[in-house]
């Protein structure tokens, strides 16, 4: 049983054991709501041979991830020599340990419908339970896509997967550019893309989608956003941070319609003018904006004219406008043009920018604010989650052949991730070195949710 100190975060990922104890493994297996999946697999097997029960094969694929084994052979070897571990998944003797080819066939079946959807529902149910009990889970989110290596089946063998509409492994390439647009780093791989939406604070995956390497982040975002919203209480998501790959009009319109504040950096598309006149202002106005949507005013009295960034006051949801004021008045400094701009105005010149002019350029949270910078830094949480999935739990195997097996293995990794998140949030907390163990209100609520789920199944 994992025991946390009271001062540790709710999801203390650094406290996960490198070699989980039998008690931790038992708790994790009990936390997985896998009843519907196992029933479906038994029904698909029918009255065929049952040398290795479905529960045993399922236990092996889960243990491979939990115990961080690089290969299926490694976890099978450990099961043959570890009696206590065998008994956890219902294997009575060493002869009852499946063979490598049994596991390959099982993973291929696990990646077929309806099992593939039921496997993903295990992840969804666990995140829904966490969302219902952790009040701030999913409030501030970030998204990204990462490349995962895999092998492709020969064309003839892949016909069934293609008929199901499953993406096929292909070559991927990602370029990293500096501020001047020069390519500084190139990453290439052969396999798939894994798209994630992650809670920034708790580093818990809220939704995921597997695509081929050609699918863009902006194209996939509507699907994973819809899944994240289904896994969380209504209107829980307040912000979504993404890199420039999701910078499109369609994405900004979607987020605006859902009431979610986009935290997305803009791609540089302007080739000529570094700034333009704000719509509704003629040549006599001193208010302009740049490509990122930052509003400036010019002091035309000084020679040469001096540009100042206007003071952002806030977003006005009822008007769908962004409110700015004279920076000199707001920050209390002298401006030579103040007598012209601010004549008869106690708060100084006020400018309201209609977001409908360009939702992409004028989001609810302007890019030139400290809050935007802080929220955008939250994208690093996705990188840490990606590293955990790929390195810690082996999602980036590279030796898996075929989309069905790949989808099955990634689905198991994400289910284990959600189960460990549940165990961390449910872990007893100790106050002091010799203090008593206590269950937090969240742990009590998760315990009740798990009991309800067990009764439902």
Residue 355 and residue 299 share a domain? yes
What is the C-alpha separation between 33 and 119, in angstroms, rounded? 10
CATH of residue 149:
3.30.420
Say whether pTM exceeds 0.85. Answer: yes
Question: Which of the 8 DSSP states describes residue 200?
Answer: T
Residue 213 and residue 96 share a domain? no
Residue 257 and residue 141 share a domain? yes
**Residue 353 resides in a domain:** yes
Handedness of CA 23, 2, 103, 105 (dihedral sign): positive
CA distances from 419 to 71, 247, 389, 446 (A): 21, 33, 13, 12
Query: End-to-end CA distance of the chain, in Å?
Result: 25
- What is the pLDDT at residue 233? 96
Q: Which of 297, 324, 359 is the last residue of a domain?
A: 359
**Residue 28 resides in a domain:** yes
CA distances from 328 to 95, 301, 324, 416 (A): 81, 14, 12, 55
- At 379, is the secondary structure helix, strand, or coil? coil
Assess contact for 266 and 292: CB atoms under 8 A.
yes
Residue 419 and residue 353 share a domain? no
Q: Digits of tens for pLDDT over the chain (457 positions)?
A: 566 677 788 898 988 888 899 999 999 999 999 999 999 999 998 877 778 999 999 999 999 999 999 899 999 999 999 999 999 999 999 999 999 999 999 999 999 999 999 999 999 999 999 999 999 999 999 999 999 999 998 888 888 899 888 999 999 988 877 777 788 888 889 999 999 999 999 999 999 999 999 999 999 999 999 999 999 999 999 999 999 989 999 999 999 999 999 999 988 888 778 888 888 777 678 899 999 999 999 999 999 999 999 999 999 999 999 999 999 999 999 999 888 888 878 888 899 999 999 999 999 999 999 999 999 999 999 999 999 999 889 899 888 999 999 999 999 999 999 999 999 998 887 766 555 666 777 878 887 877 776 666 5
Residue 262 and residue 133 share a domain? yes
**Residue 322 resides in a domain:** yes
**Residue 261 resides in a domain:** yes
Neighbouring C-beta atoms of residue 394, cutoff 10 Å = 17
What is the C-alpha separation between 293 and 59, in angstroms, rounded? 53
Cite the beta strand spans of 112-250 per DSSP E: 140-149, 170-177, 183-199, 205-211, 239-242
β pairing state of 239-242 and 261-264:
parallel
Q: Is 214 exposed, middle or buried (0-12, 13-18, 19+ CB in 10 A)?
A: exposed
Question: Which of the 8 DSSP states describes residue 392?
Answer: I
> Which residue range(s) make up the domain with 105?
4-122+402-456
Q: Is 362 exposed, middle or buried (0-12, 13-18, 19+ CB in 10 A)?
A: buried
- What is the pLDDT at residue 147? 94
What is the C-alpha separation between 254 and 36, in angstroms, rounded? 34
Residue 417 and residue 325 share a domain? no
**Residue 389 resides in a domain:** no
Residue 261 and residue 142 share a domain? yes
CA distances from 80 to 22, 52, 87, 101, 242 (A): 16, 14, 11, 16, 45
Residue 242 and residue 324 share a domain? no
Residue 219 and residue 137 share a domain? yes
Residue 261 and residue 148 share a domain? yes
Residue 118 and residue 132 share a domain? no
**Residue 111 resides in a domain:** yes
Tokens at 301, concatenated: 């009295």
Residue 117 and residue 55 share a domain? yes
Tokens at 149, concatenated: 């290596």
Q: Is 450 exposed, middle or buried (0-12, 13-18, 19+ CB in 10 A)?
A: middle
**Count: domains in the chain:** 3
**Residue 148 resides in a domain:** yes
β partners of residue 173:
188
**Residue 281 resides in a domain:** yes
């Amino acid at each position: 049983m994992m025991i946390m100190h009271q001062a540790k975060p709710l999801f203390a990922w650094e406290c996960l054991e490198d070699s989980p104890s039998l008690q931790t493994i038992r708790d994790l297996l009990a936390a997985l709501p896998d009843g519907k999946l196992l029933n479906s697999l038994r029904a698909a097997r029918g009255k065929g041979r049952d040398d290795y029960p479905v529960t045993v094969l399922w236990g092996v694929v889960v243990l491979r991830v939990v115990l961080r084994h690089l290969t299926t052979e490694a976890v099978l070897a450990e099961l043959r020599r570890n009696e206590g571990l065998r008994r956890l998944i219902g294997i009575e003797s060493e002869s009852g340990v499946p063979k490598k080819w049994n596991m390959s066939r099982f993973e291929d079946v696990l990646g077929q419908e309806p099992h593939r959807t039921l496997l993903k529902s295990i992840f969804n149910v666990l995140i829904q339970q966490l969302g219902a009990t952790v009040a701030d889970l999913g409030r501030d989110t970030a998204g990204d896509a990462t490349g995962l290596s895999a092998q492709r089946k020969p064309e003839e063998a892949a016909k069934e997967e293609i008929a199901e509409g499953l993406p096929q492994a292909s070559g991927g390439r990602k370029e990293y550019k500096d501020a001047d647009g020069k390519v500084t780093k190139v990453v290439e791989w052969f396999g798939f893309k894994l798209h994630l939406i992650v809670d920034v604070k708790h580093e818990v995956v809220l939704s995921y989608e597997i695509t081929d390497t050609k699918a863009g982040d902006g194209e996939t975002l509507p699907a994973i956003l819809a899944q994240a919203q289904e896994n969380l209480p209504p209107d829980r998501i307040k912000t979504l941070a993404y890199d420039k790959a999701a910078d499109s009009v369609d994405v900004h319109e979607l987020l605006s319609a859902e009431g979610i504040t986009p935290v997305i950096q803009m791609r540089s598309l302007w080739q000529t003018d570094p700034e333009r006149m704000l719509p509704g202002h003629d040549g006599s106005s001193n208010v302009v904006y740049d490509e990122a949507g930052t509003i400036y005013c010019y002091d035309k009295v000084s020679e040469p004219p001096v540009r100042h960034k206007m003071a952002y006051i806030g977003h006005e949801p009822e008007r769908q406008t962004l409110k700015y004021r004279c920076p000199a008045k707001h920050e209390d400094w002298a401006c030579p043009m103040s007598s012209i701009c601010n004549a008869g105005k106690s708060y100084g010149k006020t400018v309201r920018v209609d977001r409908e002019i360009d939702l992409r350029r004028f989001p609810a949270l302007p890019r030139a604010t400290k809050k935007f910078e802080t929220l955008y830094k939250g994208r690093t949480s996705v990188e840490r989650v990606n590293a955990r999935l790929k390195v810690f739990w082996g999602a980036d195997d590279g030796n898996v052949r075929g989309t069905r097996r790949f989808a099955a293995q990634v689905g198991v990794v994400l289910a284990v991730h959600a189960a460990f998140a549940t165990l961390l949030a449910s872990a007893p907390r100790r106050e002091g070195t010799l203090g008593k163990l206590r269950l937090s209100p969240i742990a009590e609520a998760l315990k009740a949710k798990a009991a309800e789920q067990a009764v439902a199944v």
